[in-house]
Every structure is written in C-alpha cells, then in structure tokens.
Amino acid sequence: MELAKAINTAGLYVIGAFEESTSNTKRIVEDVLQLHIKDESLDERFRRRYSYKELQELESKLMLIAGKAEKGKKDVDRFTMVLDSVVRLCNVYIKLLESGCVLFTSWQARFLCDPKRPVCAFIEFGTEDNIKQLKGRRNDTDDVITIMPEIAKFMETSLDNWLQYLDEKRYEYQHLNYYTTDQLVILQRELAQCIDGNDVDKIPPFIIPMLSVVKSDCDIGDLTDALQKANIELQTLNRNDEEICSDDRERDAIANFLSEMTEAGYTETVARAALKNGVPPTDITNGHIWCIENEEKILAAEQENLKTLGAMKKTITSEDILSTLPSSRYFDLFSKKL
C-alpha cells in the first residue's frame, strides 16, 4: 500500500525507445516503459527504477490486499488506473514503431503521477539537436488520469491514419506489395542512412538480396544510382514545397496588411497603393506612415479618374453606338449564313 501511495505522489512514468532497436525481435511493453520513483535512502531523485514486470507483480499483490481491506483502496485504484493508461500508451506506441511511422521514431513521453503538479505530461519529438516539447497542464478537472487516455486516443487515431496511408501507397506503388510491413521497416531504416547515395558500403549485406525481388541481379551500383536519383527528386520536391510555402506566406502577409490598413480607417485602394509603391506587406508600421502621408493624394487621383470616366460616358451618343454596328446588307448576309 505504501509503495502504491509513493508512486501516486512521486512516480514518474517514462515511455520511449530507450535503446535503438537494430534486431528484428518484436518490442514488448517491458522494452519501452520505465517507472522512476524517489528513494528516500538515496540523495538523487527518481533513482529507484521499476520495470513493467515488477509493476505487474505489484498490481497483483495490491489487488489481493485491496480486496481484504478498505483502507488504501483509493491509492490502489489510482495506481491501477494510471498503469492501465500507461500500458495502453505503450501498446499503441509499439504498433506505431512496428508499422514504420517515422514521426514516432524519436518520441518520448514522461508523466508525473503527483496530482498536485501543475504540469503532469511532457511529450518530446526529435533528436538532441532539434527537440520539440509539448506540455500537458492539469486543472480542476484534468490531471494525469484524464490526460493520458486522450494522448492514447490521439496516437491510436494516428496509427489508423498511418496504416491507411500505407495501404494507399501499396496501391499506388505495386512493388511495395512484394514486402511485408516488417521488411519495409527494415528497408526504411537501413536505406535512410545513405539517402544521398553515399556510405552505401555500410548497408548490411542482406539488403541487396531483398531489393533483388524488385530488380533482378541488383547490385551496389544499382542501389547507389537509385538513391542518388531519389535524392535529386527529393530536393526538387523540397524546393517546390518551399516555393509554395513562400507564395502562401506572401498572400497571407498581403491579406493581413490590407486588413490592418482598413481597420485603421484607410480604403483598400490606399492600402494597395502602399504595397505597389514598395511598402513590404510585413511592415505594418511603415504601411501606416505611408498611408498617412499619401492618403489625400491617392483619394484625389481616384476621384479624378471617376470624373474622367463619367465624362467619357456622357460624350458617347446613340449615333456612336449605331455607327459601330455592321451595315444592314452585311448584317443580312451574316444572318443568312447562320
């Protein structure tokens, strides 16, 4: 009972790939789960570490004890609920790894069991050079017990989407159907190490026979050539994506600039004139200054253009319009052709 209480107040669950898997053995919950807890006999916090097997044994003992005594049942229930959510997360995480979803290759989650902690969940993506972290904060109704199932549900949806994506790619690229998902994960992992066509000699020898299913008598030269071509195509796609993103950002900046200027009381004509005269769409301050200095001139020119158009409309008579029509003889011939 005391251990369950200690876990509920000072436990730290960690889920992630603690060691990079290079073998083809299946991961199990034991491989991706750790529980750290403060040990009063040690100076450092969270030095005592429990494996999943130890947690299962603890859960079994607690179930027996809780059935006989009412005292401490609340702590046992909380421990069990959290552990169930942790195991659910571990299982879907393993499935994502086994299916080759690279978004979760460098994923790790940490959960603080203490219900008084303002931040109880930490999710990290990426490597040491580029780690992105998300934090889950508790409130009056949510803590680690409610946050963990929501994260598990999101990851289960991600798995479904990824499997659907794989099915679509297998349909689009028929050669993928020569391989099982496990084999595709192996190819993905090994070929990614030399995507630019370099360091091909580091590829394990069993990869070439796997690729021979697609190309008979495949050798290192064929693989190098294919990787280099794929790298060139990838760079082209990245450049195109960057150009599209750049265009989107420019459109968004222009729309935001026009919105800012019109909200400040200037007409869209004045705002567009500012852009036409070299004011960057991201420079809102100079946009205001330009509009203040040139608003009267732009509006006056606009009024002058409207007057000119009005005068032109008044000078055009019905005779002018009739004179542009074809002669009646030509019109009759044209009608007969129709």
Q: Are 149 and 77 contained in the same domain? A: yes
Q: Is residue 51 part of a domain?
A: yes
Per residue in 73-89, pLDDT (tens digit) is 788 888 899 999 999 99
Residue 162 · residue 99 · CB < 8 Å:
yes
Query: Mapping DSSP to helix (H, G, I), strand (E, B) and coil, where does residue 125 land?
Result: strand
| Domain count for the chain | 3
Evaluate if pTM is beyond 0.75.
no
Q: Is residue 330 part of a domain?
A: no
Domain boundary among 254, 280, 299: 254
Q: Is residue 107 part of a domain?
A: yes
Q: Is residue 110 part of a domain?
A: yes
Q: Are 62 and 166 contained in the same domain? A: yes
Alpha-carbon torsion (174, 220, 204, 22), positive or negative: negative
Per residue in 248-257, pLDDT (tens digit) is 778 888 888 8
Q: Are 48 and 148 contained in the same domain? A: yes
Name 133's bridge partners: 124
Name 177's bridge partners: none
Contacts 24+ apart (CB under 8 A), 92-97: 92/152, 92/155, 92/156, 92/159, 93/15, 93/16, 93/32, 93/155, 94/27, 94/28, 94/29, 94/31, 94/32, 95/159, 96/155, 96/158, 96/159, 96/162, 97/17, 97/21, 97/27
User: What integer best gives the mean pLDDT of the chain?
Assistant: 79
pLDDT of residue 86: 94
Per residue in 37-94, pLDDT (tens digit) is 876 555 555 468 888 898 888 888 888 776 666 667 788 888 899 999 999 999 999 9
Q: Is residue 299 part of a domain?
A: yes
pLDDT of residue 333: 38
Q: Does 105 score more than 80 pLDDT?
A: yes
Q: Are 12 and 98 contained in the same domain? A: yes
| 110-125 per-residue burial string, b: 16 or more CB within 10 A, e: under 16 | bbbbbeeeeebbbbee
The domain containing residue 49 runs over which residues?
2-171
pLDDT of residue 151: 92
Q: Is residue 331 part of a domain?
A: no
pLDDT of residue 160: 95
Q: Are 20 and 159 contained in the same domain? A: yes
Alpha-carbon torsion (112, 117, 120, 126), positive or negative: negative
pLDDT of residue 156: 94
Per residue in 288-301, pLDDT (tens digit) is 888 888 888 888 88
Q: Are 296 and 248 contained in the same domain? A: no
Q: Are 127 and 23 contained in the same domain? A: yes
Q: Is residue 336 part of a domain?
A: no
Residue 158 · residue 96 · CB < 8 Å:
yes
CA–CA dist 279, 289 (Å, integer): 10
Q: Are 47 and 125 contained in the same domain? A: yes
Name 287's bridge partners: none
Q: Is residue 241 part of a domain?
A: yes
Q: Are 97 and 165 contained in the same domain? A: yes
Q: Are 120 and 164 contained in the same domain? A: yes
Q: Are 181 and 276 contained in the same domain? A: no
Provide φ and ψ at 282, rounded to 5°.
-85, -10
If phi over 0 gives left and psi between -120 and 50 gives alpha, with beta otherwise, what is residue 100? left
CA–CA dist 72, 67 (Å, integer): 11
Name 109's bridge partners: 15, 123
Residue 327 — pLDDT band, cuts 50, 70, 90?
very low
Q: Are 192 and 83 contained in the same domain? A: no
Domain boundary among 151, 171, 191: 171
pLDDT of residue 92: 95
Domain boundary among 220, 236, 254: 254
